[in-house]
Amino acid sequence: MLEQVGPVGTETAALSACAGRVLARQVVARADIPPFDRSPYDGYAFRSQDVENASEQSPVTLRIVDYIAAGDVPHTCIRAGEAAHLMTGAPVPEGADAVLPFERTRFTEEAVTIDTPVKSGSNVVYAGEDVRKGTILCSPGVRIDAGLAGTLAGQGIFTPCVYKKPLVGVISTGSEILEENEEPSPGHIYNSNRYSLQAACELAGCRTVYMGTAGDDRDVIAGLIGEAFRTCDAVILSGGVSVGDFDCTPEAMVLSGVRLLAHGLALKPGMAGAYGIYDSSNENGPYSGDKSSYSGENGPYSGDKSSYSGDGSRAVPVFGLSGNPAACMTAFYAVVLPVLRRQMGFAPGACLPPQIRVRLSKDYSRKNQSARLLRGKVDLTAVVQEMEITGGQGNQVLSSVAGSNAFAEIPAGETVQAQETVHAFLMGEF
């Protein structure tokens, strides 16, 4: 799926609203920062050679010939025996090659006395010391952090080009699901997947829209998927993906024009699941509730590596996840998030979660036929990363996802004892 989607597009945005956004263009410095030699202190600028023999016994007195405020420009150049009074941030005048803060001098309105040698370059912030014109400041796919926001501003870049935030449509299925405005009733449970999925997508930097719940009716589900295709860049469904009579999400996906890439994964929790791509250039368009549009064929897929093939078509990933809350979220972090990150504009190599090695806090003694992912909390600041396995690990146990930040991998057919080291990957924060 990673190979078949690409960034969802770019836009310009106000720099003051760009914290955390993903930059879409390389930025090359247009100007030196600072743009001129600058004083970091209130003080006096002069020629260092004038004071090379200065001492307490034989101080040197220089005549003040200029007064330069911040935002001002020098009015004259500094010659032997002269000094300029500078404010913090003011340009260092021509001729001067050193600055001394005023509290390290004695001074009057007319003259400043210095009783120590000062090296050439002292207390001068040279033009380009922060950023040199022509330097590559950042590459596409970099998140705008505080330092980069200020660096862009310093260059006069106040409306950077950033990747659009993918809009993720979330659809819930299952007749037992209660929505938040419904009263509890026997045999029903409140929809939790919707909230977990929306929170996870938004914390990752996507926008989300909840498309609604669709019971267990294939056509209603397909209708919601089709509706999502009108506006969304990705679609996540939960429920209805195993092999039972009523597990009709994969059928609904196919009905909506989705080309299925996988039905079931060698992963636990998260074994049940259907994954596919909807190519919006598909002639039939999205499913509109009219069954006659379902031909059983998905039309040719272009094979384009980018989601936008130039003619306005785009590859919309569609994820049919387990309705079991923990299985749903495990598949989200293992499979969905990397694809969303690619859509957000991260480089292909920066989409998969960071790998770590962790020591497990507990034994894991059950052999599984497929790889088993255990959720837990890793203290990344510890020298040895010990993973505290949180609460129950059942497919239903969502409470142990809360506060977790990593998944440890138990390979198929293996058991692990407490304190053994295994591979793990991080849920987010990358």
Q: How far is the CB of 231 from a second copy (least distance, A)?
A: 17
Closer residue to a second copy, CB minimum distance, 207 or 293: 207
Q: By C-alpha distance, which of 195, 197, 316 is closest to 253?
A: 316
Q: By C-alpha distance, which of 128, 109, 123 is closest to 33?
A: 128
Closer residue to a second copy, CB minimum distance, 177 or 315: 177
Read off the tokens for 227. 């509706």
Q: How far is the CB of 57 from a second copy (least distance, A)?
A: 25
Closer residue to a second copy, CB minimum distance, 6 or 91: 91
Closer residue to a second copy, CB minimum distance, 362 or 423: 423
Closer residue to a second copy, CB minimum distance, 131 or 277: 131
Q: 103 burial class (0-12, 13-18, 19+ CB within 10 angstroms)?
A: exposed
Closer residue to a second copy, CB minimum distance, 7 or 376: 376
Query: d(Cα 343, Cα 201) in Å, to the nearest integer?
Result: 12
Q: How far is the CB of 288 from a second copy (least distance, A)?
A: 27
Amino acid in the structure at residue 346? F
Closer residue to a second copy, CB minimum distance, 190 or 285: 190
**Cα dist from 152 to 24, 29, 138, 409, whole Å:** 13, 9, 10, 41
Q: How far is the CB of 290 from a second copy (least distance, A)?
A: 27
Closer residue to a second copy, CB minimum distance, 30 or 291: 30
Cα 33 to chain centroid distance, Å, stands at 27
Q: How far is the CB of 361 from a second copy (least distance, A)?
A: 18
Q: How far is the CB of 396 from a second copy (least distance, A)?
A: 5
Asked if residue 193 lies in contact with residue 328, where contact means CB atoms within 8 angstroms, the answer is yes
Q: How far is the CB of 327 from a second copy (least distance, A)?
A: 9
Q: How far is the CB of 188 from a second copy (least distance, A)?
A: 6
Which residues on neighbouring strands pair with residue 387, listed in sequence order?
360, 378
